[in-house]
Amino acid sequence: MNISLSDKIKKEIDSIKSKFPDDQNKSSIIESLLIIQHENNGYLTNELIESLADYLNVQKIDVYEVATFYSMFSLKPIGKNIISVCTNVSCMLRNSDQIVNYIEKKLKVKIGESTKDNKFYLKDEMECLAACNGAPMMQVNHINYENLTYEKIDKILDGIKDD
């Protein structure tokens, strides 16, 4: 049981649990999945989902529902560094579609795919990322980069080390 949850993760989950009433373990699912996913190279496996259900003592289906509903969870392996280019309306007006094209060409991927070397994942982002005054913008590993130009993109992406 729970073989795949490390002690470190369990400790973090315990502190998440303390945010909610004692009988409300389901409330901890979202934040727990985020940290589990982070520790597991950015994606969730059935095994991890089920271990969390066991650890929180909730139904497996409860955790699956959450894992499939929210867009930041991935159920398949993805590239190490997540790029989300906002293409919602304010960014579209500031040419975000060209930004996506540029990144697709530069990384040789289509939106929604990971690079062959698994270094990058270009997420098919539907949402406005709440930085509309900095359009066009993207998040790389959830850090905002705004007022993008091709040169800026080169600098940001080329600056990410392989390790």
Partner 1 sequence: MIKVCTQTFGHKNPSSIDTYIKLGGYSAWKKIITEKTSKSEIINTVKESQLKGKGGAGFLTGLKWSFISPNDSQKYLVCNSDESEPGTCKDRDILRYNPHSVIEGMLIACYAIGASVGYNYLRGEFIGDQWNVTNNAIKEAYDQKLIGTNILESNISIDIIPLIGAGAYIVGEETAMLESIEGKRGMPRIKPPFPAVQGLYGKPTIINNTETLSSIPYIIKNGTDWYKNLGEGDSHGVKMFCMSGHLTKPNVIEAPLGTRFSKLLDECGGVLDNKKLKAVIPGGSSVPVVKGEVIMDTPMDYEPLMKIGTMLGSGGVIVMDESTCMVSVLERISRFYYAESCGQCTPCREGTGWLYKTLVKIRSGHGSQSDLDLLNRVANQIEGHCICALGDAAAMPVKSFLTNFWNEFEYFVEKKQSMII
- Would you give the binding string for partner 1 spanning residues 18-47, x where CB under 8 A is met? -x-x--xxxxxxxx-xx-------------
**Which residue of 2, 15, 101, 141 would you call a contact of partner 1, by CB under 8 A?**
141
User: According to the binding rule CB under 6 A, does residue 126 interact with ligand FES?
Assistant: no
Stretch that binds ligand FES, among 3-11, 45-53, 75-83, 122-130 (CB under 6 A): 122-130
User: Degrees (nearest 5) of the Cα angle 156, 158, 162?
Assistant: 115
Q: Given CA atoms 33, 38, 42, 46 in this order, what sign does their dihedral have?
A: negative
Stretch that binds partner 1, among 1-9, 47-55, 57-65, 103-111 (CB under 8 A): 57-65
Q: CA-to-CA distance for 113 and 124, rounded, in angstroms? A: 8
Residues forming the site for partner 1 (CB under 8 A): 19, 21, 24-31, 33-34, 58, 62, 65-66, 69-73, 84, 87-90, 92-94, 126-135, 139, 141-144
